[in-house]
């Protein structure tokens, strides 16, 4: 039986150190990292940064669950309704695909008009089939959207061509109070 994915909260800026200790302990874990260009006075460098600051996904057995809490830098398990929060495997795979493979764009009609607050289906790439809220309208080529994961959101820059509106935002001016 496959162990469910859980989320551990990590002390500030300790994600990579805890990941190394989890690997040494042979506990299955996933620390999503992305590359970011950092600038200093004398140089610039590409650095791998955690996608979710302060969090690592783990898939421990019941015995490993308590051992993880003894690892330096691990603060606690994220809890929901008095139990460890469980992250579905499909969300872990979605994040892995997003980071590892990027997007393969195919020609899709891009004549839809987007507005902040619209809900759009993602038609291509590793997030295909997911729905996302339009968060920010950029230039003519891209839109920033918010995709829910954990209790946080991921801002993803997506080409408009791979989005299809499924629900328009609710116009609050048209809603009349009941009283």
pLDDT digits (tens, 9 = 90+) for 130-169: 777 777 666 655 555 555 545 566 667 777 777 888 888 7
What is the homologous superfamily of the domain 5-87 according to CATH? NusG, N-terminal domain (3.30.70.940)
Is 0.75 surpassed by the pTM of this model? no
Residues of the chain with CATH 3.30.70.940: 5-87
- CA separation for the pair 67, 63 (Å, rounded): 7
Q: Where in the sequence of the chain do the CATH 2.30.30 domains occur?
A: 119-167
With the CA atoms of 7, 9, 10 and 13 taken in that order, what torsion angle do they form, in degrees rounded to the nearest 10? 100
CATH of domain 119-167: 2.30.30
Q: What is the pLDDT of residues 14-64, one digit of tens each?
A: 999 999 999 999 999 999 887 778 888 899 988 888 888 899 999 999 999
């Amino acid at each position: 039986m496959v162990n469910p994915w859980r989320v551990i909260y990590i002390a500030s800026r300790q994600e990579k150190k805890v990941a190394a200790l989890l690997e040494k302990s042979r506990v299955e874990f996933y620390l999503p990292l992305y590359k970011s260009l950092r600038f200093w006075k004398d140089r610039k460098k590409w650095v791998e940064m955690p996608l979710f600051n302060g969090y690592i996904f783990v898939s421990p057995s019941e015995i490993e669950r308590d051992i993880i809490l003894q690892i330096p830098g691990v603060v606690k398990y994220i809890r929901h309704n008095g139990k460890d929060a469980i992250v579905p495997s499909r969300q872990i795979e979605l994040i892995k695909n997003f980071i590892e493979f990027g997007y393969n764009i195919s020609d899709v009609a891009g004549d839809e008009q987007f507005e902040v607050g619209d809900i759009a289906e993602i038609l291509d790439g590793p997030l295909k089939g997911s729905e996302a809220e339009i968060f920010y309208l950029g230039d003519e080529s891209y839109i920033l959207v918010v995709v829910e994961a954990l209790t946080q959101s991921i801002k993803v820059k997506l080409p408009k061509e791979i989005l299809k509106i499924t629900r328009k935002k609710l116009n609050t001016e048209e809603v009349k109070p009941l009283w």
